[in-house]
Structure 1
């Protein structure tokens, strides 16, 4: 085998972490980027995504819109699924969100964890905190592998 082939062999191509930066860059023109998500940390089974809350993320009460929080949970959990199922197509099949406290402008962070994996589904949980560590929302989601 040539050196070039060794660098691009199956074990090299299947490493999801080697392509994480490229994935984050590719996501910029999607809803991820439109929302303003930033990857803070990722490892197998866990990801942390941050969001700098802007005025357009607020509702008329001047607090973060619930849809923004739900989207942040879905994006962070979805990232964990992508890392755990590289090259596979997956979709969100269920998302539960518990809104616990409101927030305004400033940074918020979502930590997502894989809590169960079967042959066809992955079950996730996530929590969103503000820059003081106050829990804003908690959620769970189920993702299905699509064939």
Structure 2
């Protein structure tokens, strides 16, 4: 994917995602190419759980979304869905910006395996994940 094409695809994905769960959460697609995706979120109070740290579901949403985008980038024109995901929560997150970086680990016929890390503004590793994505047939 060349830079101009990558930027165009990134802008297109950001636009269509704005009115979905992605946009509701507040995710931002910062960078995308065929090898890496970077997603950020400005963590606010409504993203926290009852003890004042980032809700695990938000961690998981960010990681799943970023890894899903890199899986889509690996197989343009094909639809992919998460088939499994494993998340390790390593450090609490409070208010502030977090960054997720997702990369491809392996691809095969109908499966793409990815990894993602979520880091706080001070570069502390807060969560890491691996996920498998299944390539599905598009319905006509």
Give the TM-score taking structure 2 as reference length. Answer: 0.91
Deviation of the 1:22 alpha carbon: 1.4
Deviations 1:34-76 (A, max 9, x none): 1111011111021010000011100010100001000100000
Equivalent positions of 1:1-147 (< 5 A) are 17-147=7-137
CA–CA separation in structure 2 for the residues paired with 1:19 and 1:60: 37
Runs of 4+, deviation exceeding 6 Å: none
CA distance in 2, matches of 1:84, 1:16: 12
Q: Where in structure 1 are there 5+ consecutive unaligned residues?
A: 1-14
Q: Normalising by structure 1, what TM-score? A: 0.87
What is the Cα-based RMSD across aligned positions, in Å? 1.1
The alpha carbon displacement at 1:17 in A equals 4.8
Rounded to whole Å, the distance in 2 between the matches of 1:132 and 1:68 is 19
Are 2:10 and 2:31, in contact at CA under 8 Å, matched by a contact in 1?
no
Q: What is the alpha-carbon distance in structure 2 between the residues aligned to residue 21 and residue 36 of structure 1?
A: 15
* Partner residue, 1:6: none
Q: Quick check: 1:16–1:86 contact (8 Å CA) kept in 2?
A: no
Q: Which runs of 5+ in 2 are unaligned?
A: none
Structure showing greater radius of gyration is 1
